[in-house]
């Protein structure tokens, strides 16, 4: 059964640094990206940036800004 991302944590610059999953786990952004690539986390899209690096976008809403903070 796959998990979803349900909340975010930001640093003082406003960057997302970690996520809370639907099972209550708190994982880093890098771990969330890795688990999304592996199919463990569902409901997100993986995009490629202009610099060639991968990043996450939410699948059903327009922005992670709509996720609650934890």
Would you say the pTM of this structure is higher than 0.75? yes
> Cβ neighbours of residue 50 under 8 Å, at least 6 residues apart?
none
Q: What's the average model confidence in pLDDT over 37-46?
A: 96
pLDDT at 50: 94
The CA distances from residue 16 to 1, 26, 28, 68, in Å, are 25, 12, 9, 12
**Which pLDDT score, from 0 to 100, does residue 59 have?**
92
Per-residue confidence band for 2, with pLDDT thresholds at 50, 70 and 90: confident
- Residue-wise pLDDT tens digits, 9-22: 999 999 999 999 99
């Amino acid at each position: 059964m796959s998990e979803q991302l349900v909340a975010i944590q930001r640093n003082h610059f406003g960057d997302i640094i970690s996520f809370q999953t639907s099972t209550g786990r708190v994982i880093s952004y890098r771990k969330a990206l890795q688990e999304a690539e592996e199919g463990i986390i569902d409901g997100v899209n993986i995009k490629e940036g202009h610099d060639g690096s991968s990043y996450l976008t939410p699948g059903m809403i327009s922005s992670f800004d709509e996720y609650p903070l934890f």
